[in-house]
Amino acid sequence: MEISPGGRKGSLFRDAVTALREAGVDSPALDASVLLGYVTDDPSPASLRDSDARLTPAQAQLYVSLIKKRCLRIPVSRLMGRREFFSRDFEINSDVLDPRPDTETLVEEAVLFLRAVEGIPEVLDVGTGSGAVALTLACEDPRVRVTATDISLRALAVAIGNARRHAVLDRLRFVGADLTQGLRVTEVFDLIVSNPPYISREQYGSLQEEVRNGDPELALLSGREGTEFYEPLASGAIKILKPGGSLMVEVGAGQDQAVSETLENAGFQDVQVVNDLAGIGRVVKGRKEIA
């Protein structure tokens, strides 16, 4: 794509849209707008598309570079190093999963549950990644205290940075752990949430290029079936939940019934499936029996 460093916004935008469309990007105009807004710090669509204002040489050069990378199917969020989730910006990098709207269903269910908890709710977020779920719960309810775990220490570093940015670091504790292992035996929680890896090796090859070019395999791949993480997660969670406490997990499309059975086999009561906005079973939740 040939664009002169002193090109006008309007022509730069049109050339970018053409290049992205030719590369097979699903939303060329939207992506071109978002990236130009990122470069110019001016997110107004009208300003981006129609203005005759000239970009500085540095802005034009950066924009061309980003468009070329997007043509290689690198996700926009990865190019900008941030992603909006639950109306908040989270910094991301190659060490963490890109937070997606599907996971907002998990957060919404968790927020509803926590409203009914008296006192100071104790939450465990297993596999926190960027910290999007843990931090959002802390932001939505100022009473909440969250323990966030991840097997990746690099992911925890990203989550800590996001917690500091959103001013909730004092109410979060970060632990390097595999699922529920590594926690103190005496710890108990009102709520355990998790968006674990649930992509099978067979499914991985059919994922969008943007997903495979962005998200770390560690945060995506589960095993042959895609549901391998749920059994050890459920069996570990029920031991550290308070009576009446809840486990809520995100699941992949078509996995809701199998994961529901897994929670029931682990001893959870009142197991339910919650659909996302597309009508897909996205969250499976269950309660620990009250003694």
CATH of region 83-287: 3.40.50.150
Could you tell me if 144 and 114 are in contact, meaning their C-beta atoms sit under 8 angstroms apart?
Answer: yes
- Model pTM? 0.89
Task: Please say if the pLDDT value at position 53 is more than 80.
Answer: no
* Residue found under tokens 């709520």: 191
pLDDT reported for residue 99: 92
Residue ranges with strand state E in 127-215: 145-150, 172-176, 189-194
* Rg from Cα positions in the chain: 21
pLDDT score of 117: 96
Q: How many angstroms separate the Cα of 285 from the Cα of each of 18, 170, 201, 250, 274?
A: 45, 28, 25, 9, 8
Residue 55, C-beta contacts closer than 8 angstroms, at least 6 positions apart: 5, 6, 7, 8, 9, 12, 39, 40, 63
Distance, in Å, from the CA atom of 172 to the CA atom of 276, rounded to the nearest integer, reads 27
Cα–Cα distance measured from residue 255 to residue 285, given in angstroms and rounded to the nearest whole number = 13
Whether 284 contacts 272, CB under 8 Å: yes
Q: Cβ(124)–Cβ(146) under 8 Å?
A: yes
pLDDT exceeds 90 at position 27: yes
Contact 254, 232 (CB under 8 A): no
pLDDT at 52 over 60: no
* Average pLDDT of span 156-183: 93
pLDDT per residue as tens digits for the range 229-277: 999 999 999 999 999 999 999 999 999 999 999 999 999 999 999 999 9
Contacts of 203 (CB under 8 A, 6+ apart): 226, 252
User: Which tokens belong to 7?
Assistant: 């090109």
